[in-house]
Amino acid sequence: MLIYERRERPIEWAEWNGRARHWWLKPFVAVEYGMEWLAYGLSNWRFLEVLDYLSRLGVVVAVIFYFSETGDRLKQKHYQAWQVVNSAEGKGGNGGRIEALEELNADSVSLVGVNLSSAFLMGVQLPKAKLARANFDGADARHANLAGASVTDANLQNANLRGATLKAASFANSALNDADLTGADLKNADLTGTTLENADLQNSNWEGAHWNSIQSIKGANILGIKEPPSGFVEWALAHGAVSRSAE
């Protein structure tokens, strides 16, 4: 911050010039003397002080406008992310969808009903995402993180969820027919009303999973599942599941 003080009038030239002990210093002394007078003159020019105050006021106004437009910038960011997601709808590959989806979810934007069929979403991070009625049909979501997500009434048929983190996620009333859940972590997941026909559940973790109201598990492979809840394996085999290694 600049502080304007009235400067004292410079001493006379004769006294100033006497400061030069060597003749070759006189040009420098003369320049310094001129600068001293210039500084004296400017220190008494209130216009410069006013300009300084105005510049600081401009910074304050800019900061106010910046924060007042935060909502609009956030809306624009979300709009651009949705453009990426929607423009790639029904297409294979990533197309920037992973980053767009993660950005939207990080801002707690609902992803209800999003169409991600056939999308490449390997490793996507969507913990606690709102994905009710989403379409993951044929999507490649290997090693995805959907921990705590709400994926209810969704279509996950033919989805590749190998090694995915699905802890405490809710798949209530969702279709996971023909899905590949090999090695997936379903600890405490809610599978109420789900269909898992012909799903590959090998080596997946079922500790604490809510399985009692699974609608159908016919043809699902439960070979090597980890921490199966009490009675689950017997029930699954009795309802058409199988336990066999690949031939």
Q: Which residues are CB-contacts of 99 (< 8 A; sequence separation ≥ 6)?
A: 84
pLDDT at 25 (0 to 100): 57
Closest CA to 154 of 142, 146, 162: 146
pLDDT at 96 (0 to 100): 85
Domain limits, CATH 2.160.20, in the chain: 90-247
Specify the 3-state DSSP secondary structure of 212. Answer: coil
Q: Do residues 172 and 152 lie in contact, with contact meaning Cβ atoms separated by under 8 Å? A: yes
User: What are the Cα distances from residue 26, in Å, to 16, 29, 35, 37, 188?
Assistant: 10, 5, 14, 17, 88
pLDDT tens, per residue, the chain with 247 residues: 455 555 676 666 666 565 656 556 556 666 676 677 667 666 666 655 666 666 766 676 666 655 655 666 678 888 898 888 888 676 666 668 999 999 999 999 999 999 999 999 999 999 999 999 999 999 999 999 999 999 999 999 999 999 999 999 999 999 999 999 999 999 999 999 999 999 999 999 999 999 999 999 999 999 999 999 999 999 999 999 999 886 5
Per-residue tokens: 76: 């624009």
Q: Do residues 96 and 76 lie in contact, with contact meaning Cβ atoms separated by under 8 Å? A: no
Specify the 3-state DSSP secondary structure of 73. Answer: helix
pLDDT at 41 (0 to 100): 65
Alpha helices in the chain (DSSP H): 13-17, 26-43, 46-68, 70-87, 97-106, 232-238
Helix (H) or strand (E) segment spanning residue 192: none
Name the CATH code of domain 90-247 (choices 3.10.450, 1.10.15, 2.160.20, 1.10.287).
2.160.20
With 0.75 as the threshold, say if the pTM is over it: no
pLDDT at 202 (0 to 100): 97
